[in-house]
Each structure stands twice: as structure tokens, then as C-alpha cells.
Amino acid sequence: MRRRGAPRVKVPGGGMRIPGAVMGMAFCLMTHWIAVCGAAPLKVVVLTDAAGLGDKGFNDVCWSGVQRARADFGIEAHFIQSREQADYAANIQLAARHGDVIVTLGYLFEDALRRVVPSHPRKRFIHIEGVVVGDNIACYDFRSEEGGFLAGLVAGLHTRARKVAVVAGMEIPPVEAYVSGFRAGIRTAELHRGDAIQVIVVFAGSFNDPVKGKSLAQAAIDQGADVIFRAAGNTGVGVLEAVKGAGNVALIAEDLDQDDEIPGRVLTSTLKRMDVAVYEAMRSIVEDRFRAGHRWLGAADGAMDITEMKHSRALFDAADLQRIQKARELLKKGALKVPARSGDVDGFQPPRLDS
């Protein structure tokens, strides 16, 4: 029986799950790349947050970048999913003992990384969302507020009830940025509509609680919200279920294109290109040009956007579609500053988006 809290390891190409105690055996598996090239491949270990792979969001986006690097560079890729935050430091140590490159996903890894990274100076670390200083770690943050702004603008231009909601995971800076940007987008929609719009914001306190997500979304629907933006990781699976059960409610998804989940009722999805950051960081290691440090990526870097709304465009009039496009262009030009902190939203001046 697997000890509660023990990490789970995924070996690509197989469905086997291996307890942490025998993880070393998994890392002895050789890939086809070795047979062809005669040299051991770069071993990459990815540590997901508690939501793990299959969250249709944050972790899945990052893992797709790893898989692309695996196909292009012949790396050997594994992942560890921790059951709780208390396991993070031990799992980073485990990964560093067996891997050449360790990729950590999520703000909550920051403290554990600060304790562990200095003891492995010969290993390379890639961290997504957060800042950890060191000569062997590259960190990437994303301007989630820009994606949140576009989500809020779409929600605000669409709502008929003049009431929308955000169901979020945990109250951490990247999620605060999503929510603050969303509220700024709503204020911009209010400017163009001439109507006040109520925003309900609720936090599940977890990225891995679909039951709580569904309950919170249902409560918002019962209060009259007709558009829900989720920023909740695997908790968002429950949000999707609640929206599916309410025929007159629309959803805006996060992090990757999920417009096909409920065609026409997923108005759009924010696109946070963490996969590109992970891929490019690994390419820099393969090509021996790794640079430590912290980088911010946003719409101007092609790292934040929304989908083309292929199923929902007919729900918006031409003027509103032009406003949405104008907002995207301003963000890509770096001409629109969106608040990332909740305390800055009230001072935000909504832009006129009419050409």
C-alpha cells in the first residue's frame, strides 16, 4: 500500500505509477535516444503542484512544453506529483538526486526551492511563477493580469444579468493578478456599456478540490451570475460541471484553449504560454546557454492572450468584437498597463476601445 503523501512518478510512454522509494529504478530506464546516439539523455524531472497532470490548465500547459522538448531534444522526462505542500522540499531533493534538470510548477514551491537549490549547485532548476535567487535557477513569471483583463472585458460585454463571478483557487499573487485584471476588464466593459456590473469573487482555498469548485460556482449561479471566470486549477473541473448543468450560464476558462468543452458557452479561454517558457528554458540547457535569473512574460512577448472565440463570436456584435481586438492589440504593443494587485484596481483608468 502506498504511504499517504508519497510522491507519484510518471514514466512517459507507460501508465505505471511508482512509489518514491523505488523511484531510482524508474530513472534507470533508457530511451530509444540512447540506443541511437550512444549517450545518456538529459534527465528532466517535473514537479507539479497538488492538482497534478490532467488539470486541464496550469500543470498540463507546462507538461506540454516538456513533451515538446522530449520530442525535439531526446530528453528523458518524468514527473512527480506531491500530495501536499509539506512534501515539496523532500520531492525536490529526490528529483535533484536523480535528474539533471528540475522543473517546478507553481508559486507554492518558492520556500522549498530556497532551502534546497543551494545544496545542488551542479543541477539546473526551472521554476514557473515565483522568484528564487540563485546561479542555477531560472524563474519565469507571467502577467496574468493581462489575460484576466481580456477575460473580464469579454465577460462584461456579454453578461445580460449584469452580474458575473470569479471562482479562484488560492489567494496567491498569480491568482490575485488574474482576479485584479478581470475586475479591470469589467470596469472597461462598464465604460462602453454604460451599465454597472456586479462581480462576485470566491476562493476555494485549494487548486485540487473539484467538489468545492462546483459548490462555489453553483452558489454564484444561484445569486444570478451568468458568466463565470475560473482561475482554479483542478478545482475548476467542478466549476465546469456546474456551468454545464446551468443552461443560461457561460464560462471563461484559464491557461489553455478549452473552448471546445462547451462550444458556444465557453466564451473564450485565457492563454498563458508557460509551455513556451519551459521549452525555451530546456532548449537553452541543451544548447549550453542557460541563464539564471527572473523574467516577466506577457502579451508583448506572445505569452498572454485569449483564444479567437471560434464558437462564441456570433454572440457579440461587431462593435464589441472590435473592442476586444483593440484591447488585445494594446496589450501586445505594451500600451495598456493592467493592475496586478487588488488594491490598485480602484485607481485603474479604463481605456476607450472605440477606434
DSSP assignment of 247-282:
TT-EEEE-SS--TTSSTTTEEEEEEE-HHHHHHHHH
Q: What is the chain's Cα-based Rg? A: 21
Mean pLDDT rounded to a whole number for the chain = 89
* pLDDT, tens digit (0-9, with 9 covering 90-100), for 250-294: 999 998 899 999 999 999 999 999 999 999 999 999 999 999 999
Mean pLDDT calculated for residue range 131-157: 97
* Co-location of 321 and 296 in the same domain: no
- pLDDT on residue 263: 95
pTM of the predicted structure, to 2 decimals: 0.86
Name the residue among 328, 309, 280, 345 with its Cα closest to residue 147: 328
* Residue 354 domain-assigned (yes or no): no
Per the structure, the complete domain to which residue 296 belongs is given by 8-142+274-300
Higher pLDDT, 157 or 61: 157
Q: Tally the domains of the chain.
A: 2
- pLDDT on residue 39: 61
* Residue 3 domain-assigned (yes or no): no
* Co-location of 163 and 215 in the same domain: yes
Beta bridge partners of 294: 139
- Give the C-alpha distances (Å, rounded to integers) separating 16 from 5, 78, 290: 18, 12, 32
* Co-location of 101 and 149 in the same domain: no
* Residue 353 domain-assigned (yes or no): no
* Residue 40 domain-assigned (yes or no): yes
Beta bridge partners of 215: none
* Co-location of 205 and 330 in the same domain: yes
Q: Which amino acid is at 336?
A: L
Q: Would you say residue 14 has pLDDT above 60? A: no
* Co-location of 222 and 318 in the same domain: yes
* Co-location of 99 and 167 in the same domain: no
* Co-location of 323 and 202 in the same domain: yes
Please give the Cα distance from 267 to 134 (Å, whole number).
Answer: 41
Cβ atoms 128, 102 nearer than 8 A: no
Please give the Cα distance from 160 to 270 (Å, whole number).
Answer: 21
Cβ atoms 71, 39 nearer than 8 A: no
- pLDDT on residue 22: 35
Look up cell 528532466; give the residue.
44
* pLDDT, tens digit (0-9, with 9 covering 90-100), for 108-138: 999 999 999 999 999 999 999 999 999 999 9
Going by the DSSP 8-state scheme, the letter that residue 263 receives in this structure is T
* Co-location of 26 and 158 in the same domain: no
CATH number where 68 lies: 3.40.50.2300
Please give the Cα distance from 353 to 355 (Å, whole number).
Answer: 6
Cβ atoms 62, 81 nearer than 8 A: no
